A and B are shown apart, each in its own frame.
Chain A
Amino acid sequence: MSPLHQRGYDCIREYLAAARMRHSEARRLLERSHDLGAIYLYGYSVEMRVKAAYFHNAGLLREELITQQHRTDAVNMWTILGLATPPRPHDIAGWATLAVAARSTAPSPLRPYEGAFGIEVVTRATSLYLIWRETLRYRSTQPLPRELRDVRSIADWFSSIEAKMI
């Protein structure tokens, strides 16, 4: 059998399944007062959801392999859209912006997100990214109750709107 890290492959379906697992694991950590660990996993659950939304809006099928070329296309699209700073690898706000922008230019039958929904996606993702970084894994600090509450509420919101976003 291949090593663990080589099993499975990157695709929208897998991103969403992983997002649900990380979200559920975060909730269990929170129940045991492992607050920072919970925030760390909540953040990843949102990251995977916004990336899945972007690749869906860019026209990929649920089980289609996400290649390096697709990622390069995402960065190029960022430039085409006139958005100044390309998203960094774990830039949740950047990928949410890209997902909304891609939806605006998506081929039929996808239609742009209605009303203020796209704005809310980006706003909530940005609120999270102002608290969360992947570098939290190097930290042992105790998050503030407000930070914990905000991150959990945002992650729960993204979980609740998955079907609307993708």
Chain B
Amino acid sequence: MPLIRNGTTNDRRASDLTQQLASELSSPGKTGEPLVYENQIGQTQSYHVTVVWNEWDDFPLQSRSRIILDAYEQAAPEKTGKIRIAMGLTWPEAISMGIFPFSVKALLKENDPAELKERTHSALIEESAIEIGGGPQLRFRTLKEAQEAFERLQKLVPGPHWVISQEASAN
């Protein structure tokens, strides 16, 4: 069994994640993780940053905030002192908090051909779908984002195979 001294492994992982996030901030990818939402608050020139990333899983929320601030310090030091909120969430956490209420999924029947199932699956993966219980799906903050993805999927696999749904909050 390997010897893992308290803190050492997590320190290295934290450093790795900081580098990865800094690199993403410097040259953002078009799809995939981490997903960075940076809202500039006009009146105050401050920033609210949310980073959705399944790599956060082993870290408490406060460590994630620290990593986000460190990554900004490296990649965009001019923003560091202006960040008022720095939130790191995994996909399941973000979804449970209602941050991504809209989803686009494949609407398939049991007896649909295997070829169609494969094409819809590939199209979702191409759009960077996440695997949550019940198969891959795309999640969005706004209806507009969901509709745009819906249009792209319709071009890839035309037909009544796609559905946009919105989660209702349970209050």
Query: Would you call A105 and B41 a contact (CB within 8 A)?
Result: yes
Grouping DSSP codes into helix (H, G, I), strand (E, B) and loop, the B interface class, with mixed when no group exceeds half, is: mixed
Q: If the complex has contacts A100-B84, A123-B87, are A85 and B171 also in contact, measured as CB distance less than 8 A?
A: no
Q: If the complex has contacts A119-B83, A120-B62, A130-B97, are A83 and B142 also in contact, measured as CB distance less than 8 A?
A: no
The A/B interface has a contact count, at CB < 8 Å, of 81
CB distance from B36 to the nearest CB of A (A): 13
Residues of A near B152 (CB, < 8 A) are none
Query: Would you call B65 and A104 a contact (CB within 8 A)?
Result: no
- 18 pairs, CB–CB < 8 Å, chain A vs chain B: A81-B48, A82-B40, A84-B37, A84-B141, A85-B99, A85-B101, A90-B171, A91-B97, A104-B41, A104-B43, A104-B46, A105-B44, A112-B84, A116-B65, A116-B69, A119-B85, A119-B86, A122-B87
CB distance from A144 to the nearest CB of B (A): 15
From A84, A101, A123, contact of B62 by CB (8 A): A123
Range class of the A interface residue count: 20 to 34
CB distance from A85 to the nearest CB of B (A): 5
| Interface residues of B, Cβ cutoff 8 Å to A | 37, 39-41, 43-44, 46, 48, 60-62, 64-65, 69, 83-87, 89, 93, 96-99, 101, 141-142, 169-171
From B64, B86, B169, contact of A88 by CB (8 A): B169
Q: If the complex has contacts A89-B171, A90-B171, are A81 and B41 also in contact, measured as CB distance less than 8 A?
A: yes
| Interface residues of A, Cβ cutoff 8 Å to B | 81-85, 88-91, 93, 97, 100-101, 104-105, 112-113, 116, 118-120, 122-124, 126-127, 129-130, 133-135
